[in-house]
Amino acid sequence: MVLLTNTILKDSYLKNNFCTLFDSNFLLYGLALYESLQKHCKDFHLYVFAFDDECYKTLTKLNLANLTVISLAEFEDPQLLAIKPSRTRGEYCWTCSSSTILYCLKRYNLSACTYLDADLYFYNDPSVLIDEMKDNDVLITEHRYTPRYNQSTTSGIYCVQFMTFKNTENGLKILNWWRNACIEWCYNRFEDGKFGDQKYLDDWTSRFSRVHVLEHLGGGVAPWNLQQYKLLPDYKLANIKTSKHFNLIFFHFHDIKIINNVIHHINLLSYDKSFCFFNKIYIPYIKTINIIINKFNLENQRIKTPYFKLFLYILRRQAAKVKHGIFN
């Protein structure tokens, strides 16, 4: 594990302690996430749970500032190992999300920790989101689905993408409840009111006390809700219905998949996107990933040029169709 003793003491008092998990397939997303925090967050530490050896070795070799790499061997406990064979790779990652937060709070004696999905990218300082908590112990984020894409019944009202837990009696009570629930059942299917790790969050505001639902609309912008916003210069957004302006804090690139150096899947047709979002958010993000490949000399991660060009072509073609009201 890459860790300095004085780093633990210093970071335990930071407001912006983050954790995330990913394997080598999501390494580029994770590095993009890290770079965005470096750019927009003054004081932070990111704890990365490397879910395969290749990811662990690469991150350890990079030895990045403000980042601690944690291997599966260090992280996994008997309860997780017992259920691991019964979960798919993705389901096991979902199962472990709550446990990564708990591990950080306990192992590093953090006052609070925020879980981040690896495919988030920050455009402004996330401190404003965490500040909303005030005296609350837990922060959760709504999907804020555009009505025609509402999947709350099956996928959940809230998205695990950005969640903060304080190291308090109540915060740990809620976190342990969630961890135990995920160990008992966490699968990629809707069953008896459950789905993965996030459907459990639906009743937290009534089941538990001191749970705050994020109000800042700039946290949690994603393919399933971007139709509600107009993108303005300097990464500001305007709510189309209310005309209220606010900063874009982070975007969730849920519909981009890069596997084995290839843009393997992008769910272009599921969610309408304006040309502006394509041109100013999606295309720069892919370019950022290529910059990261060069910066960290990750030649084995390079996106093959023909696929990249095809991806840009598909994006621009789809954007033109959306612009002219053609959705088939």
The domain of 306 spans 257-328
Domain boundary among 149, 180, 213: 213
Which residue in the block uniquely carries the two structure tokens 């047709």? 269
Instruction: Give mean pLDDT in consecutive 10-residue pieces for the chain, a chain of 328 residues.
Output: 41 77 94 98 96 97 98 98 98 98 98 98 98 97 97 97 98 98 98 98 98 98 96 97 97 81 57 81 88 85 53 59 52
Q: What is the pLDDT of residue 263?
A: 58
Q: How many independent structural domains does the chain possess? A: 2
Phi, psi of 71 (to 5 degrees): -85, 165
Rounded Cα distance between 231 and 236, Å, is: 6
| DSSP secondary structure string for all residues of 183-201 | HH---SSEETTEETTTGGG
- How many of the other CB atoms lie within 10 Å of CB of 80? 18
Residues 10 and 156 in one domain: yes
Q: Is 115 among the domain residues?
A: yes
Residues 144 and 26 in one domain: yes
Residues 180 and 278 in one domain: no
Residues 78 and 19 in one domain: yes
Dig out the tokens for 68 from the structure.
Answer: 């601690």
Residues 261 and 187 in one domain: no
Q: What is the pLDDT of residue 236?
A: 98
Alpha-carbon Rg for the chain in angstroms: 19
Domain boundary among 198, 213, 228: 213
Residues 88 and 184 in one domain: yes
Q: Is 163 among the domain residues?
A: yes
Q: Is 181 among the domain residues?
A: yes
Q: Is 51 among the domain residues?
A: yes
Q: What is the pLDDT of residue 9?
A: 42
Q: Is 171 among the domain residues?
A: yes
Residues 111 and 187 in one domain: yes
Q: Is 249 among the domain residues?
A: no
Q: What is the pLDDT of residue 2?
A: 40
pLDDT digits (tens, 9 = 90+) for 169-205: 999 999 999 999 999 999 999 999 999 999 999 999 9
Phi, psi of 205 (to 5 degrees): -70, -20
Residues 45 and 145 in one domain: yes
Residues 32 and 156 in one domain: yes
Residues 61 and 186 in one domain: yes
Q: Give Cα 93 distance to the centre of its chain.
A: 12
**281-287 — which CB contacts under 8 Å span 24+ positions?**
281/231, 281/251, 282/253, 282/256, 282/315, 283/312, 283/315, 285/32, 285/121, 285/251, 285/253, 285/256, 286/256, 286/311, 286/312
pTM, entire model = 0.90
Q: What is the pLDDT of residue 282?
A: 87
Residues 27 and 144 in one domain: yes
CATH of the domain at 172: 3.90.550.10
Nearest residue to 254 (alpha-carbon basis) of 160, 319, 180, 188: 160
Residues 160 and 289 in one domain: no
Q: What is the pLDDT of residue 1?
A: 42
- How many of the other CB atoms lie within 10 Å of CB of 104? 27
Q: Is 304 among the domain residues?
A: yes
Which residue in the block uniquely carries the two structure tokens 């112990």? 137
Q: What is the pLDDT of residue 255?
A: 82
Domain boundary among 180, 213, 246: 213
Q: Is 305 among the domain residues?
A: yes
